[in-house]
Amino acid sequence: MKARVTVLGSGTSHGVPMIGCSCDVCRSADARDRRSRASIYLDVDGGPKLLVDTSTDLRQQALTHGIMRVDAILFTHSHADHVMGLDDSRRFSQMQKGAIPCYADASTVASLRRSFYYVFDPASEKGGGLPQIELHTIDGRFAVDGLVIQPIPLMHGERPILGFRFGDFAYMTDTNRVPEQAWPLLDGVQTIILGALRHRPHPTHFTVAEALGVVARLQPRQTYLTHICHDLPHAATNQALPPGVELAYDGLTFEIEAARSLAQATEGRQWT
């Protein structure tokens, strides 16, 4: 089952350019140096259309990439840059005339209920339209309209968060450690998107060198680094990366082989 991945946003929480900064990258004329907040869209052939995270820039991302449908939303964690676009999902629930299922771990579900309290309050003013979402707490592999999704436990500083594997592709942003139990779940992955903030160390994000350590162990065919800050100019950084590794950029698209059934997902691979 083929699917197309679109990188909607490849930037760190501030975005690039960053407010009030006049560094070379923030003033760059290269469109790939303009990074909105991190998110991807997954369009499965004849299957569901998924958002991973509702970034602060969701509205502009949806307009830029002509997103017409969202059948489900997966959340990696509840940091503001990954959830604050949730209110804009109401356009999709309006157009689709139904609630959008959202999948997240227990702590993110609890946090979404607090941050978007008005969505879950029956007394809320409905005049302007509220997002209609159905929150589902996930604790292991699940499926959306036949698409098998494997959550990948990751550490983001002290905070456990989720990456997601879809067939031969895994999305892992906002992490600085892949815990032992995650490695078997990533066995045989061919394409990854992996967070790499900058070269200087950071307490909750991989540096480029640390991300390359993950790549060396996983050996995917292709890696795209994401959640990038203004320290990394696109063209110059790419030149210094090893073969099969490049920086993601807003609008990057590629094809993956998604898994349709649990049997297919586990075929020849150790997923558990």
- For Zn ion, which residue of 2, 21, 99, 129 counts as binding (CB under 5 A)? 21
Residue 80 CB, nearest approach to Zn ion (Å): 8
Alpha-carbon distance 194 to 171, whole Å?
6
Closer residue to Zn ion in complex, CB, 26/155: 26
The SS3 of residue 91 is helix
Closer residue to Zn ion in complex, CB, 76/191: 76
| Residue 79 makes contact with Zn ion by CB under 5 A | yes
Q: Which helix (H) or strand (E) holds 210?
A: helix 208-218
Closer residue to Zn ion in complex, CB, 13/36: 13
Question: Residues 81 to 100: which contact Zn ion by CB under 5 A?
Answer: 81
Alpha-carbon distance 154 to 132, whole Å?
29
Closer residue to Zn ion in complex, CB, 15/47: 15
**Which residues have CB under 8 Å from 68's CB, separation 6+?**
95
- For Zn ion, which residue of 53, 71, 88, 174 counts as binding (CB under 5 A)? 174
Closer residue to Zn ion in complex, CB, 49/205: 205
End-to-end CA distance of the chain: 21
∠ CA(14), CA(228), CA(204), 5° rounding? 80
| Residue 80 makes contact with Zn ion by CB under 5 A | no
Residue 28 CB, nearest approach to Zn ion (Å): 9
Q: Which stretch binds Zn ion (CB under 5 A): 18-26, 42-50, 121-129, 180-188?
A: 18-26
Question: Is the preceding peptide bond at 179 cis, omega within 30 degrees of 0?
Answer: no
Number of residues that bind Zn ion (CB under 5 A): 8
- For Zn ion, which residue of 32, 198, 230, 234 counts as binding (CB under 5 A)? 230
**137: number of Cβ within 10 Å:** 12
Binding mask 113-132 for Zn ion (x = CB under 5 A): --------------------
Task: Identify residue 253 by its one-letter amino acid code.
Answer: T
Read off the tokens for 183.
């490695």
Read off the tokens for 108.
């993110």
Q: Which stretch binds Zn ion (CB under 5 A): 12-20, 54-62, 145-153, 260-268?
A: 12-20
Q: Which stretch binds Zn ion (CB under 5 A): 20-28, 53-61, 100-108, 164-172?
A: 20-28
Contact 40, 10 (CB under 8 A): no
In this structure, what are the phi and psi dihedrals at residue 194, rounded to the nearest 5 degrees? -130, 135
**What is the contact surface with Zn ion in residues (CB under 5 A)?**
13, 21, 23, 26, 79, 81, 174, 230
